[in-house]
Chain A
């Protein structure tokens, strides 16, 4: 459906996007994860035909959109990171204006305006000036405008930045619903790993303009080492138990933490039975066991040596 091939953008001598390949199938929800400054916004701006690439190709259903932007524009809903609205107009006036420029008229226009305002949950406050809205409400109208013309694909550039948890949750649920119930294709960029994990079927991780990893969440976390972390919560610390664990060949590392011990073991080593046996032998009372699964955050850290929000 949408595909980029070696897409590149250079501003003066700064490479913002470095030969990125990406594809989206119809009805898919794809995440673009990366820290601020990774080149996500520039990349989607090129896909949306708003910025001309230095080189590379963007195709929509096999047709080159760089040469003819109007191939993709009518089917594309774009939610920019900025609040791209007229703040001195009401939510209703904003949505209606953009509806008109999308060539909606009369009853159809009014119907769509009300549908999208209802979808973002602002029906009762639609006559208020956008300027008087909270950040979260402004972001919801920002999304409503992008949905007016019933696009086939929606590109969302960090749509939850700087808003309250309630609005954030509302937006995430809405995006999920649009994808799952209405079959809308979604390209979602964020530096919040948990959002991408929650919404997306496939994920591209971007840093310094490059895609450094891609795949489903499981595939990505599988990139991580073959180790896993076991957190043991103990009634009280036991030096003899700790020493006994250190002597086990299958336990790679033992460290203390405030409630007990943290072990690093080879992945799927099935070491738990041996651990419980030793605990019984040295009369160490285990109150809780937690096997830590690697997150995308860990993956990013592993790949770049930095955290997503550094």
Chain B
């Protein structure tokens, strides 16, 4: 298989025209689109989300009920006083509201009831619903100060149209609850006397964990990602074109006669597409980073995540290439690869958001686009570039691999394996 792969890499490397299309064209387009649409992007790519806050809890009632409970406990007077003060200060609802309304500029909070919120989410008037359930404060105080077993949980519902925004907000809320838990745990460990010092540093949550610790994605970064995911498809169609030449010149027949299983031919091409796609994309990211200061500041964590996404995407592109090759060989026609590079790629790129930022699309297009391999990869790259944790990006990567496996399985079924296609 390595021999086939080596031969395919040599053939591709010596085809200057294809190399220009694969490597130079995307870079030129990045520069043109990045500069030309920079102003549009700077206005539109900042995240702007509307959050419905559904509060089913009654914090005041919970606090007074907690104090009553305390008074019934066989505790020393001093402890009861300390815990009462702590309960009055620990108002998680208020802190969360303050976080959303004051610290996160891109969030607009609307208070409403559950029914209203669901209706508005369905109508795509809001992006996310945050529900604070009944007994949230009570459970929180019990668990934090009296070793209660009930966990207090905040519910988040993301709209189909706003997965990216939902992911970001979910992450912030997650950090909020983690910080609350840590602070109260420290307070408990320090004893009742220390409980008055419990507080949550909202500012640090926002600064450390939200997208605002990196600059909003720039037009240059967006189009680097957009062009990279788009031009990767041309590696697949180029390889299918080369397979057609090999087949029409009967080179494939020589391979069949050698006694080698024809699948080696397909696997060699799969590997070549994967490797060439990785080289192409990393070169684009590298050049964009070096020459246009994109993807700054550099962090190993983000870079490794981007590398992982690139590998997953390259595998998906390799599978698409295999399918094109299988169809080309089976039907002895180059028209499939031609119409893929000439038409299908354009449609997929439009849906995936390579040319126009996805946030400007109608929601239905955004949803469809998020299911195209390039669309989901573009979203994954954007999340990675904003420093989002791997857990938020992994679903996209899993989807890519599932798509790759399905497409490759189909290509295996189509590829003729016994004799040359006649």
Rounded to whole angstroms, the CA-CA distance of A84 and B245 in the bound complex is 10
A89 at the interface (CB under 8 A from B): yes
Nearest B residue to A70 by beta-carbon distance?
Answer: B259
B10 at the interface (CB under 8 A from A): yes
B257 at the interface (CB under 8 A from A): yes
B residues less than 8 Å from A145 (CB atoms): 254
Contact with B along A22-66 (1 / 0, CB 8 A): 000000000000000000000000001111100000000000000
Q: Are B259 and A74 in contact (CB-based, < 8 A)?
A: yes
Interface residues of B (CB under 8 A from A): 3-4, 7, 10-11, 14-15, 246, 249-251, 253-260, 264, 418-420, 422
The number of chain A residues with a CB under 8 A from chain B is 27
Rounded to whole angstroms, the CA-CA distance of A76 and B264 in the bound complex is 20
Nearest B residue to A148 by beta-carbon distance?
Answer: B258
Rounded to whole angstroms, the CA-CA distance of A89 and B11 in the bound complex is 7
Q: Are B250 and A98 in contact (CB-based, < 8 A)?
A: no
Nearest A residue to B7 by beta-carbon distance?
Answer: A97
Q: Are B257 and A73 in contact (CB-based, < 8 A)?
A: yes
Rounded to whole angstroms, the CA-CA distance of A82 and B4 in the bound complex is 21
Nearest B residue to A85 by beta-carbon distance?
Answer: B251
A-B contacts, CB under 8 A, total:
67
Rounded to whole angstroms, the CA-CA distance of A102 and B258 in the bound complex is 5
A residues less than 8 Å from B11 (CB atoms): 86, 88-89
The binding surface of chain A is classed by DSSP as loop
Contact with B along A126-148 (1 / 0, CB 8 A): 00000000000000000001000
Nearest A residue to B248 by beta-carbon distance?
Answer: A82
B419 contact from A49, A89, A93, Cβ within 8 A:
A49
The binding surface of chain B is classed by DSSP as helix
Q: Are B419 and A84 in contact (CB-based, < 8 A)?
A: no
Q: Are A88 and B14 in contact (CB-based, < 8 A)?
A: yes
A residues less than 8 Å from B259 (CB atoms): 70, 73-74, 102
A50 contact from B3, B10, B251, B253, Cβ within 8 A:
B253
Residue of B3, B14, B246, B251 with highest tally of chain A CB at under 10 A? B251
Segment 96-147 of A: residues with Cβ below 8 Å from B: 97-98, 100-102, 145
| B264 CB, min distance to chain A CBs, angstroms | 8
Q: Are B251 and A84 in contact (CB-based, < 8 A)?
A: yes
A residues less than 8 Å from B10 (CB atoms): 88-89, 93
B residues less than 8 Å from A98 (CB atoms): 254, 258
Q: Are B258 and A51 in contact (CB-based, < 8 A)?
A: no
Q: Are B249 and A83 in contact (CB-based, < 8 A)?
A: yes
Q: Are A100 and B3 in contact (CB-based, < 8 A)?
A: yes
Q: Are B250 and A84 in contact (CB-based, < 8 A)?
A: yes
Nearest A residue to B260 by beta-carbon distance?
Answer: A101
